[in-house]
Structure 1
């Protein structure tokens, strides 16, 4: 059988000639008259003269025509279907099932019966009959049929009830996801959409649909859809290691908590954007350090409908995603990486967090304003990030004419530092991921009576445990990419909303997720989704952001590197 979807019903029709002639020859018990009537009915159906075809087929359904009888039932039902007599079509198909329960073509019967129920709005009965089909070769046709009819349902509550009754039906889930993202802002609906997206993926915006002019297309036919730039909304794929299957509600410290926090911040930004008239659809994907999963994801024809990709957070999946994004002119943003390598020679890939190289450049420029003495001491901790930033900073200082008086890795014991009151640099730079290292260095400098400006990474301090007196040194400055000004009204509003919705105090990652989607969502809307270069990403220092904003005027790395100072009562941004 050669199946295709007609343009007005979505139901496949059939090319009969060879198949039906073989059927007639195989029917040993029929009379010449029955055979002639059957062949004539076939020709009439091919000519779309369904009423006359029924007249020829009706006498052949009495069970006295041997092997022809079940076929006569089926094509009589098909003729009724095309005449939009759906009740009569269902009645004839049920009669066929009752009379010929072992007929070899029952899968085709269930397919037509399901379509007849769909046409009458009896979706549950339609799904049940399609579920009885056992032939794997028909599964693609079933998916297309369901996608066609489910797409006509505009009642969101009806779709939710149906999906609850048939939780494993993929086409139903995809239709519900699409309906929620287009019509609902309810937190419960969006949570449902997220769960379904993690399980079933993103709805394919343009599915391959066969027509009478293209009768051989099937659901497995790969047709790359064109991106719809004027759809009025923006699709955002979030590719994070959510590790949904590993989540234990009893655990407080989860390995994936940062991913959940980033995403929860984005969901609040989605609501904020909606209030500005910008509709963003978030589609979350559980993508860990798995290249094969990322490869399969970008192979999905519907994935090209995304306007922004956030993540993945691991290098190899990110490489696959970046290649796809560049090939399809889609923005890709890594929310937390500080590696410039991820965006090298990638015109549409961006870092939301300033890279280590950018931090070194901006910090060195700031250091020049602190002292006329062009000598520096650089100390760094045990992590690769610490040593990398220290080396980058050293290189930049040397480039601008500084002498490096001391450059060393420091551990718990700082006594190896070769500084004294009479042998001191113009400034000290401390890079450490050990939150105890900052206070230790300040105590050492105080003991040795060394009074020089100190620039340190914020990660060298514990802002919860360290008393404020630690930060009162008049010339202590912190490089703090994650700085949030707690005095701003936007911060209070965000924290209240986050606490109300998540019952958690927002982490740094929640702030980052919020700002990222807010900035890039506004950028997409301003450019109607058509972004081809970073020149279209306007600098955003304020405008309701919780962190310190974005600047891509000279690079695809965010060039905003916040440096803060304690003013006696609070930390303030000085650069």
Structure 2
């Protein structure tokens, strides 16, 4: 690329007497023919002698233009941009300047220098080029998702419909934000757009005496042994036991649920066979699946038959895609990251933080969304570190590299000085990572806030009472606080029926069925519109739910441990 620029510069250093001998007509014709044949490199060489101005050279402007265009067609964007700008500078009154500005504007837009590109395109006077300009802007602007960037463009060009519609598209992807929804409604009216293209519309809701809830999970009945020991699919069995107990509770409240269990056997083919049955087509709510590979046929079935479906376990928003009938019972990874960024910005004593995350896609996305929101809320992110088994020591070296010791050889000062750090966000459930972080923070002994996941509490890497002594908070959408009277009643009931204490997944199943059962009773089979009208829905065992203009749970509680028990710190 630098070499090509040099060629252009050198052209101006060659004495004019050399060019006096050039047959300008023949030279231009030959170069133009090479250009037409797609031999752009040779064409550039042919146009080069015609670029400098001479009294008998009528092709200077055209040669400059085609030289730049040939460079563009070969991907030499910097060379093309420089030559187009030179052409504008040396020949500002050329009658083909609109063409120059079109290509220059394209180069800037393709390079994501949107404001410069729009400025140049706005200077084009030829109305016949409007269609091509609009196509160019549409291709460049529609993929933009940053709402603030598009708002700035709209302020500068308030009458530009393409910018407006690009903003509409970005707002539609931010429906959980009230301000975005309000602005979207206004712009849909302004541009006379079809509302259903942006606000998914479901059929008019249906109320019934009894609602059929079909559970598609790998119960693996044929492989279960009769012994009381823990089964491979114990999570699924516990969850369904909780659902059954909740259905019994709902029946006593005159909410009738016909709970139907279908064993998927962890087989996509088995699921496809089940989905062909009329019984499943008459469901009011589908629950499942458990494994990612089983998701597509269930989503396709839900969309085709207009049946709402809840995935009770996944945080991955890709699971529900664009299906307006699909929901996550859990908060999505993006929601957890954003709400965690807000929490840290509000609760960290110092306005800076460090992020550690694992190697999975989930961890990377969680960390990235946290970082974006934390920065938006005014936190300075000092570092975001991907941790592998090989780089595990980086946690201690970052947080707890000692520089001073007391008389007992205990660290009293560190490279990252005490009380200089506000928070540490750990976007991983890998015990190797979070125990290293907690150990390093414990060594520091300062006021840093560590934020992690409630899933840590289900692991045995640390005793629960250890968390009371550490400055750690948890993202806890499924937590049941010990002072909740409903929790004690549920535990008593579960023990009476099953002869053992309930697991976390039994509690989840119970809460899930109570939540969806009440939504069916209150808002009918298509409960979306009803949920859109409520910002917060009280939970029974948990802190509750928020599905307002969202298809994952937007309400996230944050807890700490004090005196061996969970205490609510905040919910967002």
Do the structures match in fold with TM over 0.5? yes
Distance 1:368 1:345 in 2: 31
Q: Structure 1 stretch 557-566 or stretch 371-380: which is displaced more? A: 371-380
User: How many Å apart are 1:511 and its aligned residue?
Assistant: 1.0
State whether residues 348 and 533 of structure 1, in contact with CA within 8 Å, keep that contact through their aligned partners in structure 2. Answer: no
**Among residues 469, 488, 494, which one is paired with 1:492 in the alignment?**
488
2:511 is the counterpart of 1:515: yes
State whether residues 435 and 459 of structure 1, in contact with CA within 8 Å, keep that contact through their aligned partners in structure 2. Answer: no
After superposition, give the CA deviation of every residue in 1:245-277 in whole Å (9 maximum; x if it has no partner).
Answer: 111223623221111111100001101111111
State whether residues 383 and 433 of structure 1, in contact with CA within 8 Å, keep that contact through their aligned partners in structure 2. Answer: no
Query: What is aligned with 1:433?
Result: 429
SS of 1:294's partner is helix
Query: What is aligned with 1:15?
Result: none
State whether residues 246 and 511 of structure 2, in contact with CA within 8 Å, keep that contact through their aligned partners in structure 1. Answer: yes
Distance 1:534 1:526 in 2: 8
2:341 is the counterpart of 1:364: yes
SS of 2:310's partner is strand
Query: What is aligned with 1:249?
Result: 226
Query: What is aligned with 1:333?
Result: 310
Which protein shows a greater Rg? 1
Structure 1 residues 538 and 329, CA, compared in 2 at 3 Å: closer, same or farther? farther
Structure 1 residues 438 and 464, CA, compared in 2 at 3 Å: closer, same or farther? same
Structure 1 residues 229 and 447, CA, compared in 2 at 3 Å: closer, same or farther? closer
SS of 2:398's partner is coil
Structure 1 residues 474 and 444, CA, compared in 2 at 3 Å: closer, same or farther? closer
User: How many Å apart are 1:240 and its aligned residue?
Assistant: 0.3
Q: Structure 2 regions of 5+ residues with no counterpart?
A: 1-203, 401-413
After superposition, give the CA deviation of every residue in 1:472-508 in whole Å (9 maximum; x if it has no partner).
Answer: 3474211123211122121111111112212232111
Distance 2:561 2:520 in 1: 37
Query: What is aligned with 2:354?
Result: 377
User: How many Å apart are 1:441 and its aligned residue?
Assistant: 2.6
State whether residues 445 and 451 of structure 1, in contact with CA within 8 Å, keep that contact through their aligned partners in structure 2. Answer: no
Query: What is aligned with 1:470?
Result: 466
User: How many Å apart are 1:540 and its aligned residue?
Assistant: 5.2
State whether residues 329 and 532 of structure 1, in contact with CA within 8 Å, keep that contact through their aligned partners in structure 2. Answer: no
Query: What is aligned with 2:299?
Result: 322
State whether residues 360 and 393 of structure 1, in contact with CA within 8 Å, keep that contact through their aligned partners in structure 2. Answer: yes
Query: What is aligned with 1:349?
Result: 326
User: How many Å apart are 1:328 and its aligned residue?
Assistant: 2.5
Using structure 1 for the length normalisation, give the TM-score. 0.56
Alignment of 1:82-93 (within 5 A): none
User: How many Å apart are 1:515 and its aligned residue?
Assistant: 1.0
Query: What is aligned with 1:57?
Result: none
Alignment of 1:190-209 (within 5 A): none
Query: What is aligned with 2:396?
Result: 415
**Among residues 521, 525, 546, which one is paired with 2:541 in the alignment?**
546
| Matched positions, count | 348
State whether residues 546 and 553 of structure 2, in contact with CA within 8 Å, keep that contact through their aligned partners in structure 1. Answer: yes
State whether residues 431 and 460 of structure 1, in contact with CA within 8 Å, keep that contact through their aligned partners in structure 2. Answer: no
**Among residues 541, 557, 562, which one is paired with 1:562 in the alignment?**
557
Structure 1 residues 311 and 383, CA, compared in 2 at 3 Å: closer, same or farther? same
User: How many Å apart are 1:534 and its aligned residue?
Assistant: 6.3
**Among residues 271, 277, 290, which one is paired with 2:254 in the alignment?**
277
User: How many Å apart are 1:533 and its aligned residue?
Assistant: 4.1
State whether residues 217 and 288 of structure 2, in contact with CA within 8 Å, keep that contact through their aligned partners in structure 1. Answer: yes
User: How many Å apart are 1:538 and its aligned residue?
Assistant: 4.0
Q: Structure 1 stretch 448-457 or stretch 339-348: which is displaced more? A: 448-457
Distance 1:558 1:341 in 2: 15
2:568 is the counterpart of 1:573: yes
Distance 1:373 1:343 in 2: 38
User: How many Å apart are 1:351 and its aligned residue?
Assistant: 0.6
Query: What is aligned with 1:525?
Result: 521
Distance 2:460 2:442 in 1: 23
Distance 2:230 2:259 in 1: 25
SS of 1:235's partner is strand
After superposition, give the CA deviation of every residue in 1:148-203 in whole Å (9 maximum; x if it has no partner).
Answer: xxxxxxxxxxxxxxxxxxxxxxxxxxxxxxxxxxxxxxxxxxxxxxxxxxxxxxxx
State whether residues 422 and 447 of structure 2, in contact with CA within 8 Å, keep that contact through their aligned partners in structure 1. Answer: no
Using structure 2 for the length normalisation, give the TM-score. 0.56
User: How many Å apart are 1:325 and its aligned residue?
Assistant: 1.8
Structure 1 residues 262 and 357, CA, compared in 2 at 3 Å: closer, same or farther? same
2:305 is the counterpart of 1:310: no
**Among residues 472, 476, 482, which one is paired with 1:480 in the alignment?**
476
Distance 1:462 1:312 in 2: 22
State whether residues 431 and 461 of structure 2, in contact with CA within 8 Å, keep that contact through their aligned partners in structure 1. Answer: no
State whether residues 349 and 448 of structure 2, in contact with CA within 8 Å, keep that contact through their aligned partners in structure 1. Answer: no
Alignment of 1:30-429 (within 5 A): 229=206, 231-250=208-227, 252-371=229-348, 373-381=350-358, 383-410=360-387, 411=389, 413=393, 414-418=395-399, 420=414, 421-422=416-417, 424-429=420-425
After superposition, give the CA deviation of every residue in 1:362-401 in whole Å (9 maximum; x if it has no partner).
Answer: 1111111124644210112455533432233223334445
Distance 2:476 2:523 in 1: 31
Q: Structure 1 regions of 5+ residues with no counterpart?
A: 1-226
Query: What is aligned with 2:68?
Result: none
User: How many Å apart are 1:567 and its aligned residue?
Assistant: 3.1
